[in-house]
Structure 1
Amino acid sequence: MEYSYKISDPQVLKVVAHPLRVRLLGLLRTDGPATASELGRRVGESSGSTSYHLRELFKYGFIEEDDERRDGRERRWRARHRYTSWNSRELSDTPEGREAVKIMRLRQAEVVRRVVEEFDESAWSPEWVEVAGVSDHFLQLPPAAVGEFMTRTEEILRELAERYAGAPDAPHVQIFVGGFPRARTEEP
């Protein structure tokens, strides 16, 4: 599996921003190859619906058939990339691009909400309960500092993923990183 798929076309970003497609792609990335029927059961959709959306993800290069585990009756799909990225500034040069970036940011926020809602402290060890969570920081930083933070965070996450690959006590973990300037308010 390749590490990243960088999107430069707003239409492609809108394709993956569909709520069901985001979930399907996420499941294929975290849980591995699956059929439309298996994914349909996981997300509460018909196999016809999931099959349609999987074909769209395939058409735009997000997923591929998993020939190694083909079960004969149904196609098995797998993610082609661990991560999807885009340059918000470049995409925001057009109204269509701004809309696609906004939709994708809202989808990302929905994923964060769902993960927080699904976390059940009683099902995890005290060590996991202690470190799981979301924090927010209110700082005064220029765009260059936020960019540096994002770059360094990515480097740290890659290093940690390599160092702990295959660790027996390492389940899949979702790490969320974001930074936005606060809305400007008029001075009194």
Structure 2
Amino acid sequence: MTEPKKPAERVDRLLDAGALRALAHPLRVEIYDILSQYGPQTASSLAARTGESSGSTSYHLRALAKHDLIREVEGRGSARERWWEREPGSVSFYNPEAMKSPAGLAATQVIMTEFLNRRHQQLLTFVTTSMRAADELNDDTTLISTANLRLTPAQAKELNERFSALIDETTDRYRGQDEEGTLPFTARVDVFALPEEGN
């Protein structure tokens, strides 16, 4: 009997100040996110998805690659059409050392704002589209839920660790899956302390 695969220990790549500054551009965040969500792309396919020119997406791809945020896909494409993918593994944009400088703090804010705006827009688009096609909605594949809790910081940390472990285990189990019937999904977990009343 084969032992079940143990989930790998979570290791985030902590982006240094240079990588944060390289990513801190709305189009670069969008490109990075598309590569994360939809897999390898060319400058042309990214141009089609973003509405930019392929020259522009190509320029931004090279800037991201310079800081090892993405890489060229080996053995795929040609001299005229290069395929790019996101470096594997999880990434943390929260680098306390980089945020000590005004430039590092500003870069982090741009990145997080762009990612959160993109996630929020994707959720709103999904909800709007689902309402228009309610008869086609598969409720079994969707969960949009809010729970309001009272936790100690230690309990919140434990909850975060459990969420992270489940997401990491699922990601490891299905990484690279590209068979018929698979669709890109995004898993979003928001756990944060609410401001005190009156704030």
Same fold? TM cut 0.5: yes
**Residue in structure 2 matched with residue 144 of structure 1 by the alignment:** 154
CA RMSD of aligned residues (A): 2.9
Distance in 2, matches of 1:16 and 1:72, equals: 25
Q: Is the 8 A contact 2:44 2:54 kept in 1?
A: yes
Identical counterparts, % of pairs: 30
Matched, 1:48 2:59: no
Distance in 2, matches of 1:133 and 1:66, equals: 33
Matched, 1:178 2:190: yes
Alignment gaps of 5+ in structure 2 = 1-9
Matched, 1:38 2:45: yes
Q: Is the 8 A contact 2:94 2:108 kept in 1?
A: no
Using the TM superposition, name which of 31-40 and 83-92 deviates more.
83-92
Residue type at the aligned position of 1:172: P
Change (3 A) 1:30 1:112: closer
**Residue in structure 2 matched with residue 65 of structure 1 by the alignment:** 72
Change (3 A) 1:170 1:114: same
Distance in 1, matches of 2:42 and 2:172, equals: 29
Using the TM superposition, name which of 43-52 and 105-114 deviates more.
105-114
Matched, 1:22 2:10: no
- CA drift of 1:16 comes to 1.8
Task: Note the alpha carbon deviations across 1:20-46, whole angstroms, 9 max, x for none.
Answer: 112211222232222211210111000
Q: Is the 8 A contact 1:10 1:97 kept in 2?
A: yes
Matched, 1:156 2:166: yes
After TM superposition, the score normalised by the length of structure 1 is 0.79
Task: Note the alpha carbon deviations across 1:45-81, whole angstroms, 9 max, x for none.
Answer: 0011101110111011011112311223122212112
Greater relative contact order structure (CA < 8 Å, 6+ sep): 2
Distance in 2, matches of 1:15 and 1:88, equals: 14
After TM superposition, the score normalised by the length of structure 2 is 0.75
Distance in 1, matches of 2:134 and 2:57, equals: 29
Structure 1 residue runs of 4+, over 6 Å off? none
Distance in 1, matches of 2:38 and 2:116, equals: 21
Equivalent residues, number: 184
SS at match of 1:181: coil
**Residue in structure 1 matched with residue 107 of structure 2 by the alignment:** 100
Change (3 A) 1:49 1:140: same
